[in-house]
Structure 1
């Protein structure tokens, strides 16, 4: 009796698992592919393909050379060259980008130019500049370590705010996923203290808080709303809430890339 029961249980398990096994095999079959002539730097969000389809799941792809809009069969519908810029950054939705050539900043979509404006100081070489655009494409942040300045612009070219800082070389810009906060890490090599720091600003470039940490190098990540920041520096993991330390953990490891959930928990 026990043997027959085991036999039927095994049969039921096999029967129940069979559809998922078939689905897995189908999921690994090649549905679409497309090659580009340059390194891919960003793509639009993957479209929902819970229903089996042969349609290509990306609307836009940005490479080092071009912004590309694709149709359902991966045919290039629209294409915009990026070769005229020294630095280009593309928003997360891939619909808008910002490019810099010397001291000229141009904001554009794949179809048209949105705005063009001059920086108040000439950028001698691209390496002097650190630039990014918020995920929603509404805010441009430009850090010039040569001119020791942090500037925030709207996509229309309006200067929202600007700040001075002594040593910005090696600075890194990150945005919260909802684009409401910008957090910049500054290694601060120049003052010899051995301490780096984070600077946080709101969506209009207004300063919110600063957090100093031991060690120049650091890795960090933001929650979706920017209220929480996870920071790893000098082998210590910090959890910050609105610029205040919630806890610190000594990790005793040199190689950690911290990541935080959308809600910061």
Structure 2
């Protein structure tokens, strides 16, 4: 087929269809990326990318033995991907079934942000005044699925009333941590990793050690209400804010949850950064 014949075949309708086809494919890829964002699947994808690059290099350099090994990995890789990405695949299918895969998230809308901050502030204020111990972790970029699975699944909208009710003493869910994903309470009664740092003050209990421990391995925000004193603390990226007033707590939470990713520490309030200060 000559060039002119190919050119004449590109009718306006065909061009529009092809453009829509490409845009739709990119949109699907974008949605899949947002679906796995913040989970361990991201790191696994990086590993797959490294394997592909290594295969290209071995073919170029003629490394037969290493090339054969990589061929075996790639040959059985499809089955391995299904097994490794099983949680993400299941979640994607569930969202497709619910019609939520292509729906817009309301988490970043200003009204929803305000509602979440107000609900969290109200519940923490209530529990602090009555010395009700609480441990609440908020997922950010790093997925907390492995910790969510240790608790009781709720998948409920975040409200102050529900949050307070969970931590009422002598109720089934008051022990352990509550984990928040986006605008929902994902799970309650969860186990968090305890920090083993020797620099943590002896006056801090298990809740604070769990909050610091999670902040050392993820970028989650964790809120602690002391059962002994009613003091409010907040951890993020290995840092601990202690004895915050409700206004200070609200400001810190707003900045960490919905503010820029780069955090600016306030020296008078940062009491933890790998060691105990003062």
**TM class by smaller structure:** under 0.3
User: Which gives a bigger RCO, structure 1 or 2 (Cα 8 Å, sep 6+)?
Assistant: 2
Q: Larger % of strand: which? A: 1
Q: TM-score, normalised by structure 2?
A: 0.27
TM-score by length of 1: 0.28
